[in-house]
Every structure is written in C-alpha cells, then in structure tokens.
C-alpha cells in the first residue's frame, strides 16, 4: 500500500507539469530558443520498400538541386546507384517503377528514392512540379544513370554495402 501511495504522489506531481511544460518538437532541444525542428520523415526504406544502402567511400559528395518538371513532362527512365532524397515543393509527381508499381507524391511529401531500380517521374498535372533533391553520392560517379549507360565501375574502397 505504501508503494501505491508513493506512485499516487509522484503522479500528482508529474501530471500537472505536463500542462506547464510545452511539448518540444523532435530535434528542437538541439538548438537554442526560437528554433523549432520537425521530423518530416524518418525511415530505413526507400519508396518501394528497399533497404537504404549508403556508399562506403572516402570521396563522399553531396549534391543539392532544385528540379522543375513542366506540366506534361517526365524525367525519362533512369536509376541511381546512390541514395537520393527529395522534398516536393509544388505540384504532384507520379513515379512509375520497373515492374509496374506506381507512387504519387504531393506538395510537402518527402521522397526516399529507389536505387538500382529504373523509374520515371511524370507531371500529369497543370502546374510545374518543383523538387528539392539531395544526392548523397561519390565524387566522380554520376548521380543519375540512364538505361543505355553502363553502371559506373566503383574503385577500391567504394562500394555499396
């Protein structure tokens, strides 16, 4: 009974604190006041369910790009041998994957792109699709591989786990 009394006492002290202490958005505790941080997406898988694999290299290179896809336009079939991430700023993007699977992304969506799998992005809507894209690649290795291009040969110390 004494344990129950202690628990009740602790609860009566902690519960009111939940009303006084504001919730801290994910990651905001890492910054000073006035900064908020919100996790948009956290995953270990690509859009089609593949495990994310980072390249093992001593020549890591990050490329950040703004990509616009005009109404009616498409990216063309391509693949990536490295992890690629994107944020949809505007428009709706349909992505076809080899094998027939299709994914659709809307403004505010985070895209964890497939790798080592052919895919084609299409803008079927009336407005431009705008993406902010981050390629986490290897210096000297193309970020985008077209089907008629051979996949790049990685040098010693550079491999995809």
What gap in Å lies between CA 84 and CA 142, rounded to an integer? Answer: 12
**Do 60 and 137 fall within a single domain?**
yes
Residues 67 and 3 in one domain: no
Total of domains in the chain: 2
- Please give the torsion angle defined by the CA atoms of residues 145, 151, 156 and 159, in that order, rounded to the nearest 10 degrees: 70
Q: Give the number of other Cβ atoms within 10 Å of residue 80's Cβ.
A: 20
Task: Provide the CATH number for the domain around residue 90.
Answer: 2.60.120.10
Domain encompassing residue 145: 55-160
78 and 122 co-located in one domain: yes
- Domain for residue 19, yes or no? yes
Tens digit of each residue's pLDDT (9 = 90 or more) over 61-118? 999 999 999 999 999 999 999 999 999 999 999 999 999 999 999 999 999 999 899 9
Residue 47 domain-assigned (yes or no): no
35, 73: one domain:
no
Tokens of 149: 């291009």
pTM for this model (two decimals):
0.74
């Amino acid at each position: 009974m004494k344990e129950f009394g202690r628990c009740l006492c602790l609860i009566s002290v902690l519960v009111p604190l939940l009303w006084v202490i504001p919730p801290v958005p994910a990651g905001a505790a890492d910054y000073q006041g006035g900064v908020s941080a919100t996790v948009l997406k956290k995953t270990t898988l690509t859009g089609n369910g593949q495990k994310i694999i980072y390249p093992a290299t001593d020549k890591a290179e990050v490329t950040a790009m703004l990509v616009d896809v005009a109404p009616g336009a498409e990216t063309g079939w391509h693949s990536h041998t490295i992890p690629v991430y994107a944020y949809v700023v505007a428009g709706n993007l349909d992505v076809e994957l080899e094998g027939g699977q299709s994914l659709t992304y809307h403004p505010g969506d985070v895209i964890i792109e497939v790798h080592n799998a052919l895919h084609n992005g299409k803008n079927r809507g009336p407005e431009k699709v705008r993406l902010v894209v981050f390629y986490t690649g290897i210096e000297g290795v193309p970020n985008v591989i077209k089907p008629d291009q051979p996949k790049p040969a990685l040098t010693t110390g550079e491999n995809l786990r």
